[in-house]
Structures are given as C-alpha cells and as structure tokens.
Amino acid sequence: MTVQQWRRVFVCAALLSAAAVHSTQVTREPYGITASGAPVEIFTLHNKKGMLVRVLSYGGIITEISVPDRKGVPGNIALSLPSLQSYEARANFSSLLGRYANRIANGGFTLDGVRYDLPSNPQGVSAHGGPTGFSTRVWHAEPYKNGVVLTYVSADGENGYPGKLSVAAKFSLSEDNALRIEYTAQTDRPTVVNSSHHLYFNLAGSGTILNQSLQVLADRYTPVDARRIPTGQIDSVAGTALDLRTPIPMGDRIDSNDAQIQLAHGLDHNFVLNPPPHPGALRLAARMTDPASGRTVEVRTTDPALQVYTGNGFNGSLMDAHGKPLVRGAGVALETQHFPNSPNQPGFPSTVLRPGQVFQSQTEYRFLIVN
C-alpha cells in the first residue's frame, strides 16, 4: 500500500468518527534538521484537562507527556533528550521500534525455507530492527482529528528484512487522559513484524523509578540466556523475582539475587500477558504508580506480551533535556509487543505477515491520580 493510500485510509477513518466529540488540540511546528538534511516536525496534542503530549516525525519519538500530580502541578513523565542531534546519536530512545521490536538471535531467521541475514552484534543478536530501524527514520506526518498519523514505507531488503512494508502509527489523545498508539502494516512479500514503542516513564518527573510501584498482569514469562534471548521456555512467575502480579516497588526487584535478574542486571524481560476477554480486545497489561505524586499509568494492549526494562544500561554518561545524567533506574520502558525471537521459536505466537493480510495492534496509556 502506498503512502497516498495510507493517507486516504486515515482520512476516511476521521470522517467516520466525526460524530464523536473530540476537543484535543493538535499543532505542528518545525523541530530541526537531521544530519542528512531532512526536516523534522514536532506535533503537540493538548486536551481540556491540561494533559499534553509531544511527538516527533523523527522516529515517532515522544519527547513529553505532561500530566498533573495530585496537587494539580503538571510535570513531564517521559524521559527526554536535549535535541534532535542527541536523539540521532541514541537510537531507540522513547521511539517507535521496528521492523522487529526487541531481539532476534542466530544472526537472522528462515521464512518459507529462505534464510534472511540481519545486521547483528558479535553474539548474533539483532535488536529493534537493526542500526537503522524505525527509530532513525523521518516519517511522513499529518495531523489527525485528535492526534497525528505517521506513515513510512520500508523498502524490500531494508536491514535485511524481506518485503516492502507499508507502516502507519497513529497517536491520539482522548479527553479522559488516554494516549493511544495504533499500529498498522501491510507487505508485498512474506515477512515478520513486531511493532512497539520504547517510551521511558518516570512518573515523578525526576530522580529514579526505584520507589515507584509496578504491577504486571502476567502469570508467565519467557526466561532468557546471557544474551537476553528467550530460551524457548515459558515459565511461571510464581516464586521468582519476576512475580509482579501485585504492585511492587521496582527497587525491591532490580537488585534481586534471582538468576534471571542477575543476567539482565535488572528487569529486562518479556512477560506473557494473561488472555484478553475476547480476541483483539484491549486488556490491562500493567499499572505503575508513583506514591509521592499520585501519578499512575495503566497500560492496555491487544498484544500478547510486555517487555519491562528498568533502564539498566543508563550509567550517567547520557544527559537528559535538563542536563541531568541518566542513571540506572532513571526510567522504565513498558513495551507492548510480540515475543522476542519469535521467528526462530516455532512454539511462540507467529509474527509472520503475508501479502493480503493487515497487521494491527493497539496500545493505550491511561493516566490517573491516586490518593
């Protein structure tokens, strides 16, 4: 499907939803120029309750989510960097991920008897679609009724993946403080797809997430090896440090002696979400709360899994938009997704997309205040 056809699809969708009342304001402004000379825009979504979201056309990066605390004081709870150049230097930071979010092992995969090699590290691991994945691309962007639609056409063979993939990511903000991302993709050749967003949360707006609680609605997870690649097993979280079925301060878990936590130097694991009430339904995946500010985010998704990553790689060398060093635990990514390395694990849910099929998934971040 061409970019023009994608635009028509979303224009039609906007007309069909015109009967609904949407009062989110959407503005667009220039943001900067990439090193390759491409202009980048920033889109601001602002609802009547005072919530504000800013999205770049570069990588679909979310630079700001401003929500009030229990005293009504707004604060940015998304980790952000100082400039476009800093985002270019740090791929996958609070950005869209693809073509395949998370990791693929073995230096690639075989599909329909054909081997596809992917750009990989010395351990044979390809991460988040490769070094020039979706987070490094300038997407075509257009305002929507209550948000912005980003579209991109990934060429056949880009980063080793087969098929020309036409992708759309729609960001919308509702009046009840819910940010929704809707992903759609089509291909002209059999390929694999795993869409996600690497948004980093810190509900306090500063410091670390160690005293913030996390609950994940998952009875099972996929254990990993030393490369943080799933072994192929699907195990119960019961009796492990990955049991987050009740709210737990994240600082209580990321230094656990649990072997899985030690392998990842914190939480960096794929949780198998409990089944939805019916196929395709949004269901609660996770709930995170900052007890000091009262800010809470509930994550709902149609995806089968959630990757929880507690910023284990931050070591103070990267500065945020305020010039403060990002340290371990400065933020947490709650990445809705399919399982990592599914193309090499036939026992995992399939991520294969074929011509004539439409890949679709939705994720919603709903922001609340608790006393």
Overall average pLDDT of the 274-302 stretch: 96
CATH of domain 3-369: 2.70.98.10
Residue 145: its pLDDT value, please? 86
Round to whole Å and give the CA distance between 164 and 1: 9
Please check whether residue 173 is in contact with residue 25, taking contact to mean a CB–CB distance below 8 angstroms.
no
Q: 22: pLDDT confidence band, cut at 50, 70 and 90?
A: low
Res 280: pLDDT: 86
Residue type, 9: V
Is-contact 130 104, C-beta < 8 A? no
Q: DSSP of 130-167, one letter per residue?
A: -TTSGGGSBPEEEEETTEEEEEEEEPTTGGG--S-EEE
Place of tokens 């070094």: 131
198 is known as an active-site residue? yes
Tell me the sheet residues that pair with 363.
Answer: 181, 301
Tens of pLDDT along 53-100?
Answer: 999 999 999 999 999 999 999 999 999 999 999 999 999 999 999 999
Active site residue 298: no
Tens digit of each residue's pLDDT (9 = 90 or more) over 179-223: 999 999 999 999 999 999 999 999 999 999 999 999 999 999 999
Tens of pLDDT along 136-175? 999 999 998 899 999 999 999 999 999 999 999 999 999 9
The yes-or-no verdict on residue 265 having pLDDT over 90 is: yes
**Bridge partners, 319 (sequence order):** 325
Q: What's the whole-model pTM score? A: 0.93
Task: Tell whether the model's pLDDT for residue 18 goes beyond 50.
Answer: no
- Cβ-based neighbour number of residue 157 at 10 Å: 12
Catalytic residue among 22, 335, 338, 364: 335
pLDDT-derived band at 247, boundaries 50, 70, 90: very high
More confident call, 75 vs 6:
75
The amino acid at 122: P
Distance CA 67, CA 205 (A): 10
Query: Would you list the domain boundaries of the chain?
Result: 3-369
Instruction: Find the catalytic residue in 22, 198, 269, 338.
Output: 198
d(CA 34, CA 18): 35
With 90 as the cut, is the pLDDT of residue 13 above it? no
